[in-house]
Amino acid sequence: MAFNSLFITFEGIDGCGKSTQLLKAKRFFTENGYDVVETREPGGSMIGRHLRALLLEEGAKIQRSEVLLFMLDRSEHVRQVIEPALQQGKVVLCDRYIDSTLAYQHDFSFELLDTLNQFATGGLKPDLTFYFDLPLETAISRRRSRPESDKIESRPHSYMENVLARYTKVCLREPQRIKVIPAHHPIEEVTKMMEVHLRGSIASSP
């Protein structure tokens, strides 16, 4: 990819602080003179916005269909939004990406989901991923301040426990790329921990 471009993704269960810290990262890069694109999955592309409504408001009834809809969203997002921005040397900050599928679609094997992710993305992996690690109860209590839950957030406690367990395995598979940040600390402290890695990513980019 182009000079100075960086692709960074934000992962973790709902309420762990992804959006909060993505904004802090955006400020960090902007202050350091980088051009930043902020995006998310599902819904980062034009077709993806329809898919987001379908996935989170309607909810896919068939699990395989849900996986494929996420992959369709990702394929559009990579080609229409992420790759063009990286080719222009921008920093792309993306709220959820391939690792969310591995965690949330946990009825399917890593092997299958890796293959589908590879197909949808053409092999584009983030340079750096943050996993904000937070106990389920804390995430639920943080989300109470928000009035509505979407179809995926409203799944039972047992489903979310499986999501957390899968995220743990996902992090263990790629410790170089995925930085685990303990997210129960106050916002500013979490940001400081993240910024250590952001400074490292600037230092090591070509």
Ligand X SMILES: Nc1ncnc2c1ncn2[C@@H]1O[C@H](COP(=O)(O)OP(=O)(O)OP(=O)(O)O)[C@@H](O)[C@H]1O
- Binding residue for ligand X (CB under 6 A) from 147, 175, 186, 206? 186
Contact 28, 198 (CB under 8 A): yes
**3-state class (DSSP) for residue 145:** coil
- Rounded to the nearest whole angstrom, what is the least distance from the CB of residue 188 to ligand X in the complex? 8
Please say which residue, 41 or 83, places its beta carbon nearer to Mg ion. Answer: 41
In terms of phi and psi (left: phi > 0; alpha: psi -120 to 50; beta: otherwise), the region of 89 is left
From the list 42-50, 52-60, 107-115, 182-190, the region that binds ligand X by CB under 6 A is 182-190
In the chain, at which residue ranges do the beta strands (DSSP E only) sit?
6-11, 36-40, 91-95, 128-133, 178-182
Question: Does residue number 14 form part of the binding site for ligand X (CB under 6 A)?
Answer: yes
Distance of alpha carbon 66 from alpha carbon 174, whole angstroms? 25
Per CB under 6 A, does 164 bind ligand X?
A: no
User: According to CB under 6 A, which one of 1, 6, 8, 18 is a site residue for ligand X?
Assistant: 18
Q: Does 142 bind ligand X (CB under 6 A)?
A: yes
Omega within 30 of 0 (cis) for the link into 42? yes
**In angstroms, what is the minimal distance from the CB of 179 to Mg ion?**
18
CB of 132 to Mg ion, least distance (A): 10
What secondary structure letter does DSSP report for 125? Answer: -
Query: Cβ 18 to Mg ion, closest distance in Å?
Result: 5
What six digits make up the tokens of 31?
Answer: 């202050």
19 belongs to the binding site for Mg ion (CB under 5 A): yes
